[in-house]
Amino acid sequence: MVRLRILDQSGVVCFDFDRRNGAPSISRSKAVVHRGVTVGLVDIALSEGRVKEGERRILGSGIVLSLVVVLVLAIATGLIFRVVVIKPLNALGNLVRAYGAGRYQNGELDTPIKEFRPLIEVLVEMGAEIKTQMGKLSDAEKKYRSIVENAVEGIFQITEQGRFLGANPALARTLGYEFSAELVNRPLEALAGLSVVPSQWDDFIRAMRAGKTVSGFYIELRHKSGDTVHASIHARGVFGDDGVFLFAEGILEDISERTRAAEEYARLEEQLRHAQKLEAIGTLAGGIAHDFNNILTPIIGHAELALMQLAEGHPVREDMNDLLMAATRARDLVNQILVISRRGARVPLAPVFLGPLVLDICRLLRASFSVAIEIRTEISPNCAPVLGDVSQLHQVLLNLGTNACQSMEAQGGVLTVSLTQGADGIFAGRWVRICVRDTGTGMPPEVVRHIFEPYFTTKTAGKGSGLGLAVAHGIVTKLGGEILVKSEPGKGTSFEVLLPEAIGTVLPSRPETSTPHGRGQHILVVDDEPAVRAVAAGMLKSFGYRVTECPGASKALELFRDTPNAFDALLTDYHMPGLNGLDLADEILRLRPGLPVILGTGFSAPLAQATIAAHGLRALILKPYTMKGLSEAVYRALAPGESPAS
């Protein structure tokens, strides 16, 4: 304050204080009133600096106070907001985040803000509903996953490029994998051994891209092991919203067993057809053999008759011997055909020397195959005989030799057939050893393991039925022998046949005796083949018999009825038109019981002994007739000492 002046009611200065010294000041005057009466006047002047300084102090104090108040209010408001708003909002956020994470086990939230409560109630209800729906979805997912995981058939999703998007365990097992995860997200070409036939895959994808649903689509895949998997696919294509093909999904059914069963059924059908053809061929062979024997009978018979009339040293005698030898070989060949056509018949075994048989087979192979194949024989001269059947042993050697020659047809080579006594190693003992060795293409071990299986063959169609080695193995085994094979690709093949010696068997040695002759007995010869009938009559006449010829059974029966006691024996063919030989024998024996009847046949099915006895036959003779065979048959039938008919 720089000035204070007090005046009474009349304006007289009562007090005057003035320190302004010319400094600016702020003055104010105020009347003093007491009970409504002005009693004085107060005039106060303040320094302007002092006023401003006071103002600054007051303003500063106000600002500080305001800041303190604001800070206190902010802190109080923050605490209140945190307790009342932030905490419930955080709890609400945590609840939403838990729902987002799939956790719906949170209970209801307690909040002091009543406006939040409806929202929280809605969220809680929503969580409960979501929890219920998620439980149902989880159950459905487990159910369908169980169906997919435990399905018997393979289920898949696969892209056009062959990449598996999904696969179940059954599909993995079908393709040779332990886990389905080994297939997923890997292309076919990246999976060990797994592949698909390209043309079939192209057809499948083409159908999928066209929007078709395929059912029973056949496709071949490659198993992890390398084996073929035959599969049937039921699938559809899956497309995006823009119509672009995404992948194919469906079911893959492994039909390998069914396919193999169908193939086996087809193979068995083919075997049946083959067996039926063989049966028909056997029947046909029997008929052909019968006719061929009828042709050979006059050839052999006339050759033998001619030799009887030719003196020793005659220039034609050697030619006739060659003719007789050729005809005899033809007869033996026909006998082999007959053995083949006798299905299931037991073949009697006898001691057989293999040397001549080996030479015969080699001659046949030389005539049948290219001259580029050289055939060598190594035959030990002192080999013991084996107990067997000539026709069966012929078949064994022929099958082995034929296989060897066929393996060398393309490039030629050397076939060596050796016959030795004894064997080595575990087969040491009294064996006869035949070795058929070629320089052909050879065979790998996996082929060697199967070569004796029926119908197994590596030959092209028309080159073999796959029965040759199986039949050879069966024959050798039945004879108590062994058949061994050694082969290597590019180094040829060697078959060893080991057969036991015919120990303690009496060898067929017949002393040279003169052909038995008759004493004028009268023989009725019946045959519908004139040449056979004529040669049989000529042979019998040369043996001292009288002969009457008949061209057929009806004529013979008619003749016999007229003169039943004119004949001492009947020689009749089995197969004739009208009555056959057995029927003729029955009729004649009815007219004259006990008459010796000799039945001749060239057919493939020889009669059983019971049949021969039932029809009263004395002897059975096979065509083609030989002089010795025919004379002995008639001689045995008549029995020594029987008197000729008058």
The residue type of 224 is K
Mean pLDDT comparison of 218-227, 343-352, 370-379, 566-575, highest-scoring range: 566-575
Question: Which is more confidently placed, 443 or 105?
Answer: 443
- Pull the structure tokens for residue 275: 């067996």
pTM: 0.45
CB-based contact 360:324 (threshold 8 Å): no
- Pull the structure tokens for residue 613: 């006895």
- Pull the structure tokens for residue 635: 């001689």
CB-based contact 252:171 (threshold 8 Å): yes
Q: Which CATH superfamily is 151-254 part of?
A: PAS domain (3.30.450.20)
CB-based contact 264:589 (threshold 8 Å): no
Please give the Cα distance from 226 to 604 (Å, whole number).
50
Peptide bond connecting 444 to the previous residue in cis, omega within 30 degrees of 0: no
Decide if pLDDT at 192 tops 70: no
Please give the Cα distance from 597 to 553 (Å, whole number).
14
- Pull the structure tokens for residue 563: 């003169």
Average pLDDT for 298-313: 84
Please give the Cα distance from 1 to 43 (Å, whole number).
11
CA distances to 77, 287, 330, 601 from 327, in Å: 136, 19, 5, 18
Measured N-to-C along each axis, helices 315-341 and 256-309 cross at an angle, to the nearest 10 degrees, of 150
Decide if pLDDT at 461 tops 70: no
**Residue count (the chain):** 646
Decide if pLDDT at 204 tops 90: no
CB-based contact 327:299 (threshold 8 Å): yes
Please give the Cα distance from 556 to 567 (Å, whole number).
11
The whole-chain average pLDDT of the chain stands at 79
CB-based contact 185:165 (threshold 8 Å): yes
DSSP characters over 575-590: S-SSS-HHHHHHHHHH
User: CB-hemisphere CA count at 13 Å for 617?
Assistant: 25
Q: Is 80 helix (H, G, I), strand (E, B) or coil?
A: helix
Q: Write the DSSP symbol of residue 132.
A: H
**Which residue is listed with tokens 């078949």?**
395
Compute φ and ψ for 175, nearest 5 degrees.
Answer: -95, 5
Please give the Cα distance from 456 to 464 (Å, whole number).
10
CB-based contact 195:189 (threshold 8 Å): yes
CB-based contact 20:3 (threshold 8 Å): yes
What digits encode the pLDDT tens for the residues 588-618? 999 999 899 999 887 645 566 667 777 788 8
Closest CA to 567 of 496, 513, 467, 646: 646
- The confidence score (pLDDT) of residue 36 equals 73
Mean pLDDT comparison of 85-94, 476-485, 535-544, 614-623, highest-scoring range: 535-544
Please give the Cα distance from 309 to 300 (Å, whole number).
15
Decide if pLDDT at 30 tops 50: yes
Question: Domain spanning 350-500 has what CATH number?
Answer: 3.30.565.10
Please give the Cα distance from 116 to 132 (Å, whole number).
24
Question: Which is more confidently placed, 415 or 449?
Answer: 415
- The confidence score (pLDDT) of residue 109 equals 58
Compute φ and ψ for 598, nearest 5 degrees.
Answer: -110, 125
DSSP characters over 471-489: HHHHHHHHTT-EEEEEE-T
- The confidence score (pLDDT) of residue 128 equals 75
Q: In what order do the strands lie in the sheet with 373-379?
A: 373-379, 413-421, 431-438, 493-500, 482-487
Please give the Cα distance from 292 to 285 (Å, whole number).
10
CA angle 637, 643, 646 (to 5 degrees): 115
Please give the Cα distance from 235 to 17 (Å, whole number).
117
The residue type of 411 is Q
CB-based contact 434:421 (threshold 8 Å): no
Closest CA to 308 of 635, 626, 640: 626
Residues 6+ apart with CB under 8 A from 256: 228, 229, 230, 231
DSSP characters over 299-322: HHHHHHHHHHHSPTT-HHHHHHHH
Q: Is 435 helix (H, G, I), strand (E, B) or coil?
A: strand
- The confidence score (pLDDT) of residue 508 equals 46
Closest CA to 458 of 442, 438, 479: 442
Q: 514: pLDDT confidence band, cut at 50, 70 and 90?
A: low
Closest CA to 375 of 392, 358, 391: 358
Closest CA to 394 of 347, 341, 356: 356
- The confidence score (pLDDT) of residue 193 equals 46
Q: 234: pLDDT confidence band, cut at 50, 70 and 90?
A: very high
Decide if pLDDT at 59 tops 80: yes
HEC assignment per residue over 231-300: EEEEEEEEECCCCCEEEEEEEEEECHHHHHHHHHHHHHHHHHHHHHHHHHHHHHHHHHHHHHHHHHHHHH
In 337-412, DSSP assigns E strands to 350-352, 373-379, 386-388
The full set of domain ranges for the chain reads: 3-55, 151-254, 350-500, 522-638
Query: Which range, of 15-19, 386-390, 424-428, 477-481, averages the lowest pLDDT?
Result: 424-428
HEC assignment per residue over 158-184: ECCCCEEEEECHHHHHHCCCCCHHHCC
Q: 511: pLDDT confidence band, cut at 50, 70 and 90?
A: very low
- The confidence score (pLDDT) of residue 546 equals 94
First to last CA, the chain: 203
Give the other-Cβ count within 10 Å of 376's Cβ: 11
Percentage, residues of the chain above pLDDT 90: 12
Q: Please give the CATH architecture assigned to the domain spanning 522-638.
A: 3-Layer(aba) Sandwich (3.40)
Compute φ and ψ for 431, nearest 5 degrees.
Answer: -125, 155
What digits encode the pLDDT tens for the residues 398-413? 888 888 888 888 788 8
Strand pairing category for 522-526 and 546-550 = parallel
